[in-house]
Structure 1
């Protein structure tokens, strides 16, 4: 434990290269909401950290978090990406003027093939669907709506306070969770370099948790990250 504490204190964040994302075109999807409290928007996150590994989303990304269906989640590589979402084509449920809300991809909305795609199986493949917090959902649609048609597009993420690195592991297993990523929001590749090593590629463990099976204890560390071009 002492050696791992030394890593945490000596962490150096350098050589990070991020590529600016392009604003995407509007696409069609659907959206629902979950009832959030003071904790995460999806109950399982309290225990598991969610499919992206962010932990308590209320503290990490606030109410502007969304679970994505299989078609959007892309096996976790979309974690951290930002989407502008607006309610469309529903005169009763969409708020006047079709205001939009920007959400961060933070979790996976699993399919339910026991229900039809258009009646409960909102996240069944290949549907594109957003499961939002009630607070975010009601900025664009009426609360009484069960599901609304939406348009969405990828946008750059605006973050304050810089990148955040959460370190886990031990002498033979090193893991880092990367959050608060701006621009494209996604991280698609990560390398780590200790004062006694060269650059070492890290593999995606799950979501935005990256790992390598190298003993990095007692060394200042640098990270190099890459985003989608």
Structure 2
């Protein structure tokens, strides 16, 4: 083996463990919480999830700023733990991103239910809420849901048959939805849907009949297209949710 190729082989052996574990590394930051009448999330979050954004993951959700990534970060899951040893639990909280929000040098603005999970006992919970802002460390983790299949929710602002907006729910694993397209049977081609905001994708020209969708998934395995045949029925209704046969991991 030539010297240059030997160097590349050794470099690959050195870098491979780093690349495989890079998402397991914790990053230091700060976190706070927002007010909520029932301690759950908000149904009006910037991701456009509606009631799903309030209750998903038992209401353990968060608003983010730099992790929002123009909506691509919606639905991402993070393990967050505070770093005050007398008051913080070892595991912290596993929270789902459902909103955009900026704080005082914070990466997470939690629902009260999520923020309370940072503490190791009820007395410490009171202490952390009194602090208001805490130092934390976080890392992205795979999302896991009791509902294993992807769900396509027709957004409430949709208007049959001339305007369709959808939200993809229960995106498991460490995956981001980066593009959505629908099949146009009359011209035999895939047409792009627009990211309206957050996790909401829309089109002013939905096809008639049942709708085939495909979406681009970006994850630890790279980018791939996943197709869902008859994802949306011909008589779709605003506010309705349709469960697919697709599971991501």
Q: Could you say if the C-alpha distance between residues 215 and 202 of structure 1 is closer, same or farther in structure 2, counting changes exceeding 3 Å? A: closer
Deviations 1:53-85 (A, max 9, x none): 0012333443221111x2222222100111111
**Which structure 2 residue ranges, 5 or more long, are not aligned?**
1-21, 223-249
State the number of aligned residues: 184
Q: Could you say if the C-alpha distance between residues 32 and 128 of structure 1 is closer, same or farther in structure 2, counting changes exceeding 3 Å? A: closer
| Correspondent of 1:105 among 93, 97, 106 | 97
The Cα of 1:135 is off from its aligned counterpart by 2.1
Asked which structure has the greater RCO (Cα within 8 Å, sep 6+), the reply is: 1
CA distance in 1, matches of 2:141, 2:203: 31
CA distance in 2, matches of 1:191, 1:211: 10
CA distance in 2, matches of 1:74, 1:155: 17
CA distance in 2, matches of 1:215, 1:147: 45
CA distance in 1, matches of 2:111, 2:25: 24
Q: Does 1:83 align with 2:69?
A: no
**SS where residue 193 of structure 2 aligns?**
strand
The Cα of 1:128 is off from its aligned counterpart by 4.3
**SS where residue 169 of structure 1 aligns?**
coil
What is the aligned partner in structure 1 of residue 26 from structure 2? 26
The Cα of 1:52 is off from its aligned counterpart by 0.1
What is the alpha-carbon root mean square deviation over aligned residues? 2.2
CA distance in 2, matches of 1:153, 1:23: 7
Asked if structure 1 preserves the Cα contact closer than 8 Å seen for 2:26 and 2:139, the reply is yes
Q: Does 1:207 align with 2:198?
A: yes
The Cα of 1:39 is off from its aligned counterpart by 7.3
Q: Could you say if the C-alpha distance between residues 37 and 214 of structure 1 is closer, same or farther in structure 2, counting changes exceeding 3 Å? A: same
Greater helix content: 2
What is the aligned partner in structure 1 of residue 63 from structure 2? 67
What is the aligned partner in structure 2 of residue 140 from structure 1? 118
What is the aligned partner in structure 1 of residue 169 from structure 2? 179
**SS where residue 68 of structure 2 aligns?**
helix
Asked if structure 1 preserves the Cα contact closer than 8 Å seen for 2:181 and 2:193, the reply is yes
Asked if structure 1 preserves the Cα contact closer than 8 Å seen for 2:39 and 2:113, the reply is no
Q: Runs in 1 of length 4+ with deviation above 6 angstroms?
A: none
**Which structure 1 residue ranges, 5 or more long, are not aligned?**
1-21, 111-120
